[in-house]
Chains A and B, each alone.
Chain A
Amino acid sequence: MTVYLPIAEISVNLFLILGMGGAIGLLSGMFGVGGGFLMTPLLIFVGIPPAVSVATVSNQITAASVSGVLAHWRRGNVDFKMGMVLLIGGIVGSVAGAWIFTILNSVGQVDLMISLSYVIFLGTIGFLMLFESVNALINTRRGTVKRKKLHQHYWIHGLPFKMRFRKSKLYISALMPLGIGALVGILSAIMGVGGGFVMVPAMIYLLGMPTSVVIGTSLFQIIFVTANVTLLHAINTQTVDVMLALLLMSSSVVGAQIGTRFGTKLRGEQLRSLLALLVIIVCLKLAFDLVITPDDLYSLGAGGH
C-alpha cells in the first residue's frame, strides 16, 4: 500500500514508513535521543529529498520528545531548571548554526560538511561512551567497583555564576550548561537533528548529571529546539511534509512509549554501551559512504535560477 507525500512529491510504501517510525521511536524512548541522526539518513535512503527529510524529521522528533518527556516527568526524571538553562544556550546556538549553514550552502559543500560532522561527532562520542561503559561493566562483573569520589573538582568548578540544580544533585556554573546548549544548538542546525546524541553524553560526562535525569531533561530541551527548527524550515524552504511527519509520529510515539519502559529496566552502563554501539554503526556507515567509489559520480540538484 502506498501513500503520496505532498511536499516530498513522491509515493512511498505506507508500512515501510510506519515500520521505520516505530523502530526509531523505540530507540528514542530507550536512549533519550530524538532519533534524528538515524531517521534522517534512513529517509534519504528510501528516496525522500534530503531537505524534506531534515525538516520533517525535526517535526516528528517534537512529537516523540513530548511523549518521552511526559513519561519521564511522571517518574520525576526531568530537571526543568537544567533544561531551561540548556534551552537558552540551545536557541542562541541554533541561530548561529543556521547562519553557518547558510554560508556552507553558498559555498556548495553542505552535504559533505553534514556527512563529515556526523562521522566526527558520532565517532568520537560513540567510542568514548563504549570505552567508559564497557569498563564499568567489566568492573561490576569483577565486583571490584572502584568507589568514585562523591565530588571531583575540575577547572570547570572554578567558573562563576554558580547555580544549584537540585534534581541533578549539582552545584555548578550556569556557563557550563549554557555552553553545551549552544554547542548542541549549532550542531542541530548544521546536521538537522535534535542533538540528543551529543547532549546526552555531554550531560553525563561533562556536567556529571545522573543518567536517570539526563534522558528526560534532554528530551525536554529537544522539544523546543526541534519546534524552532520546524518553524524555520516551514518559513524558509517549505520542506516540512506534514503527511510524512504524521505517519512517522503515529508510529514513533507508540515505539517511544514501549522504549521508555524498556529503558527503565536496563542498567545505566548497559544502556550506554548499547547506545554507543548504535552510534558507532551509523558513524561507520557514513564514513564508508564517503570513502567507497559511488555508483554514479554525478548527481542532480535543483538549479538556482
Chain B
Amino acid sequence: MFFSMRPLLTTFATLCALVLAWAPHSQAQSSLVTDISSHLVSVTSDFTGTELLLFGAINIDDKDEGLNRGDVLVVVRGPEKDVIVRRKDRVAGIWINTEAVEFARVPSFYALASNRPVEEIAPPDVLNRLRIGPSRLHFRPVEPEQTSLPFEEAIVRQKSRANLYSDQETAVYFLGDTLFRTTIAIPANVPVGDYIAEFYLFKDGELLGAQSSPLFIKKSGLGRQIYDFAYAYPALYGIAAIIVALFAGWLASAISRKD
C-alpha cells in the first residue's frame, strides 16, 4: 500500500506546485504541500543509518505575501513502546535498582526540526498540546500517582544519547518564500516499525496547517529472513543455530588438522 502512496503524494505535490506557480493569487488560505525523499527505509545487513530529506511548499495567502511566510516544524515519530525506567540507589555500598516507573506508549524515535527555536514560533500551550520537542512528549506512567518527572527526564536523556531523540531548531531551510527542506538523520540503531512524519505551519504563533505522511522502517534481505525465521519457528531456529555451531566447530578442527 505504501508503495503506491509515494507516487501519489509526489503527483499531488507536483500538482500543488503547478497551482502555486500558475495561480498564486487564487489561494484564500495558507496551506502545506509536503513529501519525504523515501517512504520506505530498508534496514539491510550493511545498514549504517541514512538521512531522510523532508520537503514541501507553503501556499501563501496573498495578503501576507512577502511580509511573513510563516514558520515550519517537521516532526518524525517512531513506533510507541512501553518502557520501564529504573533508578539505582546505593544500598550497603553497592548500586542497586530500587525504584521503577513504567511508562506506556513512549515513542521509540523522535526527531524535530524547525526554521527557528520553537519557543519563538508558538506559545507553550500549543507546543504542549501538539507534543512538539522531546521535553514536551508527556510520557504517561502506567500508575499515575507516582512522582515521575525525573524518570521522564531520564527517558529523554538516554534516548538523546542514543541519537533516537533529536531536536534541531534551525534545521528547516527555506528556498525562496515558499519551498522548504530539512534532513533528518536515521541512525543505525533505529527501531523498525511504522513511523509518521508531521509537518506544521505556523504564522504569528497560530497553527495554520498540518500534514502527516507515513514512513516505514523495515528489515530486509538476509537479516529479515533470519528475524522472521527466529520468530515464526523458534524451536527450529534454535536447532538450526546448534547445528551451525556443531558444524563450525567441526570444520575449524578439520581444517587445522591438515596443517
Contact = CB atoms under 8 A, between A and B. Distances in A.
Nearest to A245: B241
Interface in B107-157: 142, 150-151, 154-155, 157
Measured as residues with beta carbon below 8 angstroms from the partner, the interface class of chain B is 35 or more
Interface in B244-259: 244-246, 248-253, 256-257
Contacts of B97: 108-109, 111-112, 299
Contact of A257 (B43, B45, B256): B256
Interface in A267-305: 290-294, 296-305
B234 A6 contact: no
Contact of A234 (B87, B234, B246): B234
Contacts of B84: 300-304
A64 B249 contact: yes
Nearest to B257: A74
Given A10-B189, A231-B235, A234-B237, A296 B248 contact: no
Interface in A1-42: 2-7, 9-11
B242 interface: yes
A234 B239 CA distance: 9
Given A246-B244, A254-B252, A290-B95, A302 B81 contact: yes
Given A231-B235, A245-B245, A9 B192 contact: yes
Q: Which of A47, A254, A257, A293 has the most CB of B within 10 A?
A: A257
B93 A291 contact: yes
A300 B85 contact: yes
Interface string A239-255: 01011011001100110
A92 B82 CA distance: 36
Measured as residues with beta carbon below 8 angstroms from the partner, the interface class of chain A is 35 or more
A7 B253 contact: no
Contacts of A3: 45-46
B81 A65 contact: no
B249 A242 contact: no
Given A63-B248, A298-B86, A238 B242 contact: no
Interface in A65-83: 65-68, 70-71, 74
B238 A230 contact: yes
B191 to A, nearest CB: 7
A4 B238 contact: no
B86 A4 contact: no
A60 interface: yes
B245 A60 contact: yes
Given A4-B45, A64-B249, A296 B157 contact: yes
Q: Which of A63, A231, A298, A305 has the most CB of B within 10 A?
A: A298
Interface in B212-256: 219, 222-224, 226-227, 230-231, 234-235, 237-242, 244-246, 248-253, 256
Interface in A152-190: none
A235 B231 CA distance: 9
A66 B256 CA distance: 13
A221 interface: no
A227 interface: yes
A298 B85 contact: yes
B2 interface: no
B12 interface: no
Contacts of A294: 88, 95
26 contacts: A5-B223, A6-B227, A7-B226, A7-B227, A10-B189, A47-B189, A59-B241, A59-B242, A62-B246, A62-B249, A63-B249, A66-B253, A67-B249, A109-B96, A109-B97, A234-B230, A235-B238, A246-B248, A257-B253, A290-B95, A296-B158, A299-B86, A301-B86, A302-B83, A302-B84, A304-B102
Interface of A: 2-7, 9-11, 47, 59-60, 62-68, 70-71, 74, 108-109, 111-112, 223, 227, 230-235, 238, 240, 242-243, 245-246, 249-250, 253-254, 256-257, 290-294, 296-305
Interface of B: 43-49, 81-90, 93-97, 100, 102-104, 142, 150-151, 154-155, 157-159, 188-189, 191-192, 219, 222-224, 226-227, 230-231, 234-235, 237-242, 244-246, 248-253, 256-257
Given A246-B244, A250-B248, A294-B95, 13 more contacts: A6-B224, A6-B227, A63-B244, A66-B249, A234-B238, A240-B241, A242-B237, A243-B223, A257-B252, A296-B158, A300-B155, A302-B83, A302-B84
List 8 tightest A-B contacts by C-beta distance, closest first: A303-B82, A66-B249, A234-B238, A253-B252, A298-B154, A11-B188, A6-B223, A70-B253
